[in-house]
């Protein structure tokens, strides 16, 4: 499982996760709310940038493309990307902020999250700049796969999605998708789709009970409707299910007992699935690998990246049992 020669292009909604740590010892005299006495502040890569970070810590190479605002957070983002050795082409949009998610944390417990973002679709001129950058990158570099990381923040418009998938299919580059419901039909002809269970229920217009009783049939429906090679659905504490176009269906139960924080688990999952899909990895091994990285992330506080050696050690220990 050597990923060092792989180069993945990540396109999507880029974010910064800000953590403000402190102590709560009193209630405000102004309103019945807690007062957090701040001790420290920390910034981490979020969204599509966190996917790229996981690719790098798993020992592969990543290039990131997305849209940022003309603000101080853009500079913070650039510094974080440099620290993580992530190549990036960032398109600046003066009409939107760099997405910032601020979490207030006391005694390892998140007490509040504040989001600053725009969910409006990017303008045509920003689309033009974004697609020009993507076209140049694909023409100039040999990417092993492309990830479309969609959080419904307006960067992955139908035009962008269609153009990227068409270009990649013409260059025989696999496209991996972490989708949201909007524009779901635009993802047809991608290599795989990786929704979580909640997203899958919305996409399939079914209830939890219907899905649980017919998981394999619903996976097949997604494959056929969008003409995919594979589909993966993460089920939280219940693990993951996957199916390929030959009809092979696999599932893997998680062994996680103590979930500390689920933030960033989906980002790590699509990173490892993408890297393994660049080779001829069996479906069941991919399923097991998604649980491994998910368990690593969920066992720690905050958004963390999965290290290559940590992944190998835990994956080998799991498969030996």
Active site residue 267: yes
- Which entry of 128, 129, 267, 280 is annotated as an active-site residue? 267
**CB count, 10 Å around CB of 89?**
17
Place of tokens 């394999």: 216
Distance CA 191, CA 178 (A): 11
Query: Across-strand partners of 121?
Result: none
Query: Across-strand partners of 22?
Result: 38, 106
Length of the chain as a residue count = 321
Q: What is the DSSP letter of 196?
A: B
Q: Give the angle subtended at the CA of 169 by the CAs of 165 and 174, to the nearest 5°.
A: 80
Alpha-helical segments (H) within the chain: 48-57, 72-83, 124-140, 158-170, 197-204, 208-213, 215-226, 265-277, 283-298, 308-320
Q: Work out whether the CA dihedral 47, 48, 52, 54 comes out positive or negative.
A: positive
Q: Give the angle subtended at the CA of 127 by the CAs of 133 and 204, to the nearest 5°.
A: 110
**Measuring CA to CA, which residue among 295, 267, 301, 274 is closest to residue 49?**
267
Distance CA 251, CA 218 (A): 14
Distance CA 148, CA 139 (A): 18
CA atoms within 13 A on the CB side of 216: 6
Q: What are the strands of the beta sheet with 34-47, ordered from one edge?
A: 34-47, 14-27, 99-106, 109-116
Distance CA 94, CA 70 (A): 5
Q: Which residues are catalytic?
A: 267
């Amino acid at each position: 499982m050597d990923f060092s020669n792989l180069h993945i292009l990540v396109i999507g909604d880029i974010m910064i996760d800000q953590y403000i740590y402190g102590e709560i010892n009193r209630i405000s005299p102004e309103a019945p709310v807690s007062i957090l006495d701040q001790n420290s502040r920390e910034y981490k890569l979020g969204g599509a940038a966190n996917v790229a970070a996981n690719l790098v810590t798993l020992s592969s190479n990543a290039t990131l493309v997305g849209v940022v605002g003309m603000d101080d957070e853009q500079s913070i983002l650039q510094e974080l990307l440099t620290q993580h050795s992530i190549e990036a082409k960032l398109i600046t949009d003066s009409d939107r902020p760099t997405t910032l998610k601020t979490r207030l944390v006391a005694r390892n417990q998140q007490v509040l999250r504040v989001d600053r973002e725009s969910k409006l679709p990017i303008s045509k001129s920003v689309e033009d700049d974004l697609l020009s950058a993507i076209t140049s990158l694909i023409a100039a570099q040999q990417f092993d796969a492309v990830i479309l990381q969609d959080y419904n923040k307006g960067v992955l418009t139908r035009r962008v999605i269609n153009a990227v998938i068409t270009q990649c299919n013409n260059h025989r580059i696999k496209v991996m998708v972490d989708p949201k419901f909007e524009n779901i039909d635009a993802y047809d002809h991608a290599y795989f789709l990786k929704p979580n269970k909640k997203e899958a229920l919305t996409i399939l217009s079914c209830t939890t009970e219907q899905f649980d009783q017919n998981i394999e049939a619903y996976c097949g429906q997604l494959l056929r409707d969008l003409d995919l090679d594979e589909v993966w659905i993460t089920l939280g504490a219940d693990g993951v299910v996957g199916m390929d176009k030959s009809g092979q269906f696999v599932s893997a139960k998680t062994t996680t007992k103590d979930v500390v924080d689920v933030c960033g688990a989906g980002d790590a999952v699509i990173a490892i699935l993408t890297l393994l899909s660049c080779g001829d990895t069996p479906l069941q091994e991919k399923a097991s690998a998604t649980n491994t990285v998910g368990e690593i992330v969920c066992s720690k506080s905050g958004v963390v990246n999965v290290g290559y050696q940590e992944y190998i050690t835990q994956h080998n220990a799991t498969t030996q049992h």
